[in-house]
Structure formats: C-alpha cells, structure tokens
Amino acid sequence: MTAGTRTGQLTVRLHAADDVVVALADLPAGPVRLADGATVTLPGPVPRGHKLAVRPVRAGDPVRKYGQVIGYAATDIEPGDHVHTHNLAYRPVENAVVYGSRRTPTDYVPEDRRATFLGYRRANGKVGTRNYLGIVSSVNCSATVAKLIASRAEALVAEVPGVDGIVPLTHTGGCGTGGPGHEGFDMLQRTLRGYGEHPNFAGFLVIGLGCEVNQVVSLAAEWNVPEGVPVHLMTIQELGGTRRTVEEGLRLIEEMLPVAAQARREPAPVSELVLAMECGGSDGYSGITANPALGVAADLVVRHGGTAMFGETPEIYGAEHILLERAVSDEVAQRLVERIRWWERHVEADGSSLDNNPSPGNKAGGLTTILEKSLGAIAKGGTTQLCDVVRYGEQPRTRGLVYMDTPGYDPVNATGLVAGGATVLCFTTGRGSVFGSRPTPCLKLATNTELYLRMTDDMDLNCGTIADGEETVEEVGQRIFELILATASGQRTRSEELGFGLEEFVPWHLGATL
C-alpha cells in the first residue's frame, strides 16, 4: 500500500487481486460499504485488523492478500464472511522463482547529499551510537559475579559523564556442550565475539569460572578489538572466589572509565550505520502500516550508503520468493534457500512445523497463517537488492540490505542482529511488545493508533496514522529514518528511559546439553 487510507474508510484492500479486505474498525453484522463503493453484508461481526471476503471463494481454492496466496479456503467463503482460522487453512505454496528476476539497481543518493549522524568513531573505523562498558560471562557459572560487578559499578559510572553505563552480558550456556566445531558452541562464541567487537562498547571485562568448556582465553583470542579498547580476562577460581573477583572487577572498571569517557561524538556518514529490523507481537496492521513504513526507512538507509539487516527465518517462510527475486546474485539467493531448507529439517526433527506460527496473540490481532504473517513481516525489508545472507551473529560482508538467519523469538533474533553489528534497532509491534536492548538502542514502532495511545510510555512512534488516513507510508517512513538518525546521534529511546536491555541478551541455544 503506497498511500494512506481516507479518513472514515472502514476497510482497506491491499492489492487488486485480493479476495479479502482488512477491517480498519470493529465492524458489526450488517451491510458495510467498501472503499471501492461496493457493499457487502456481514453475517457476523469482524474485529479490527481482521479480514472479510469481498468475493466468493470455493472450498480448496486459494485466498489472496497482498496479491499473494495466504492460505486455502477450508469451507465455501461468501462475500462479507469473516476470514480467519475457522475457514482458512495453511498449505505450502510452491512459488516459481527466478533468482534476481526483480533485481533493480539501487538508486543511491549522491555522496555529497547523504545524511550524517553524530557517532563514536573507534580506532578500527567502525562508528558506534552509544558508549558502554561491557562485562561478558563466558559461562553461566560466572553470570552472577558479572551482575554483581555491574550493579556495584553503577555508582562509579554515574560520576563519569560520557559513559552510557555498564552492560552485563550473561547467558545460560558455555559448558555442558561440545567444544570448537560443535554448531551450538561455535554459534555462542560467534555471538559473544560480535558483542566484543561492537563499536558501542569502549571496554570489556570477560569473566569465566575457570573449568568451563568456553574458556575466556579462547573466547577472546580472536576478537578484533580496536586499539585503545581495553579487554581484561578474569577467572573466579584463579582470583580466589566471588568476593575477590568482584573487588578486582570494580578496580578494573574504575580504571577503564576515564578511557571510555575520552570518546566524543563526531559527524559520520550513514554508510557507517547498521540498522536492525524486527517485528514482534504482530497484528493485522503490521503488514499495512509499520512494516512497510520501516521498509521505506530501510530503503533510505541503503540509498544513503548504509546497511539494513533483518532476520526471523520462520517468519518469512512462504514469502522468501520476494527476497530471492531481488537477490544480487545466484550465490546470495542460494544461501537463503539453504537456510530455509535447514529450518524445514530442524523443525521436522523436533516434531514441529513452521506453520505452527502465528502465535495466539498474532491470531487475536487478525493474522491467520504463517504465509500471511510472513508476507507482512517481509515488508520491512523494503525494495532494494538483497546483497548478503549471513549466519546467526555473523558480520555482513557488504553494505546494503542483508538477511540474517535467526529464529523468530524476539530476544534471540535481536541478540543475533546486534552481534552482527547493528547499531540501531527498530522494532514494530501491533499487540504491544515491551522490549529494549543494550548496547544498541531500540525504537518501538506501533502499528495502530489505539496501541500507541494505550502504551505511549513504551512506543517511540505511531505508524497507525497510515491506517487513520493522516499520513502515507512514505511520509511515516521518512519520519522513521529521521528518528533513526536522531537516535544514532544520542537521543534516548523509550526503552532506554525505562531501563530495558539487561535481560534481553539471549543467544540462540542450539544443540544437545550434555
């Protein structure tokens, strides 16, 4: 949808080929006038964000929304019928795909007109948007000690201007698993390495117990840390226990604070920005308002030379052809196909299925099948070429639009994207997810006005103005882009003001626990 709906419009049709429209208000039983002037009679009420049929669909025939198949009629569907879980069934759709068939060269903004932000340029050339000190636990056994040091260091940090805080990065892994070469172990090390090299950090403590599989020395050995960013390795057993480790940690934090405080913001081009995108707690508006508007903002980031990255592979399932058709090369397209096939094998081995999505909250908001959810979710990827596909927590090899293979679970997805270098995160929500991340600031984008007004303290921007007829998708996308730049330059987000980000570091746990 490229333009906002007119005020007073009760439904919106997203594509001329669609069999359904989306209700923009709670509709009672009775006649309803559609946007094209036609009238249908509803045999029962249809909630806001849900679908109603505008033409008859026979049992077994496909049902289309966004001009794409979102499922198959489980029974005969008549005009005006509420279309949802009671009469719409999931079946896999085989989309004929020609890699790169819709590849269009990116219309880059001339370099002398590209936007800038105020960031922290590190010695290796990377540019951060925040200035934190980090404490990494190599294993769950050292997590409490890491948190104790962080908690007791808060008073020290408060006295030093220019340092945003201390981030304890604790987790439940690091032992009870295979070592190097084991998929789960390598993924944890890759994730921790991504945080260790993140430009939003100005220094680190790395704390282990001492006897774990994930040894601190091997963990930090391959970190490519910029000159001037201190990394101190500690083990509780070697230092003589908890109290002595906490005391030594506080001493090292006090030593690092003046170094971190020397960092100063300076103008940097958007080409140094890495935007992460996520949607959680989705509803029937997500694919109409916030996600396509975020897609516009992502296009702007890419056009200004930057990187826009998103993932959630189980939540693009069935819509991946849209990305494959925009892949910059067959090699990039094939990497995405390989990850899709891996997920099919992964959930089958677990006795599950990718069509178990959407969640109960998604369904209450109007989403019926994984195909429908995926088509709405993929809209945040915008329209530019797909330039790279990377593994969980892996750094992109190029700028532009990048896809990362991650689960759909919000904190695990966000953790992978931040490990991949994301310096600003945009999170769209229609049900009202509360979320924030550190060291990367998180912007919350509400899909509908009712949610924004109800949860204003958690939401940074209202995209519901699109459905309200007050703004176009392009206008809201421009506002998101401007908010991204302001946030990258130091403007605090709602989640930062509320204190989120201490519990949302959740690396993807993969493999057997031994």
Q: Is residue 113 part of a domain?
A: no
One domain for residues 331 and 432: yes
Q: What is the mean pLDDT of the chain?
A: 94
Is residue 4 included in any domain, yes or no?
no
- Structural domain ending residue among the three candidates 266, 295, 319: 266
Smallest Cα–Cα separation from 440: which of 461, 417, 413? 417
Per DSSP, 500 falls in state -
Identify whether residues 75 and 143 lie together within a single domain: no
The token duo for 159 is 């006295």
Give the strand order in the sheet containing 82-83. Answer: 11-12, 20-23, 51-53, 82-83
In a domain, 436, yes or no: yes
- Kindly state whether residues 328 and 357 are assigned to the same domain: yes
Co-location of 262 and 276 in the same domain: no
Other CB atoms within a 10 A radius of the CB of residue 25 amount to 15
> Would you say residue 96 lies in a domain?
no
> Is residue 445 scored above 50 in pLDDT?
yes
pLDDT, residue 32, reads: 95
User: How many C-beta atoms lie closer than 10 Å to residue 291's C-beta?
Assistant: 27
CATH code at position 256: 3.40.50
Residues 330 and 379 in one domain: yes
Which residues on neighbouring strands pair with residue 169, listed in sequence order? 136
Same domain, 194 and 256: yes
pLDDT digit string (tens) for 411-427? 999 999 999 999 999 99
The yes-or-no verdict on residue 4 having pLDDT over 50 is no
Number of domains forming the structure of the chain: 3
Q: Which of 239, 266, 293 lies at the terminal end of a domain, its last residue?
A: 266
This prediction's pTM:
0.95
For residue 2, being part of any structural domain is answered with no
Residue 94: inside a domain, yes or no?
A: no
Same domain assignment for residues 280 and 400: yes
Q: What would the pLDDT profile of 136-175 be if each residue is shown by its tens digit? A: 999 999 999 999 999 999 999 999 999 999 999 999 999 9
Judgement on whether residues 246 and 276 belong to the same structural domain of the protein: no
Tell me the CA distances in angstroms from 363 to 67, 129, 368, one per residue in order. Answer: 20, 36, 6
Residues 284 and 308 in one domain: yes
The CATH code of the domain that includes 53 is 2.30.130.110
Q: At what angle do helices 183-196 and 410-419 cross, to 10 degrees?
A: 60
Which residue range(s) make up the domain with 384?
272-497
Per-residue pLDDT tens digits for 239-263: 999 999 999 999 999 999 999 999 9
- Mean pLDDT score, 109-128: 97
Both 279 and 261 in one domain: the answer is no
> Helix, strand, or coil here: 389?
strand
Same domain, 158 and 40: no
Residue 145 covered by a domain = yes
Counting Cβ atoms within 10 Å, is residue 391 exposed (0-12), middle (13-18) or buried (19+)?
middle
- 108 is a domain residue: no
pLDDT band at 356; cut points 50, 70, 90: low
226 and 307 fall within a common domain: no
User: Residue 115 pLDDT more than 80?
Assistant: yes
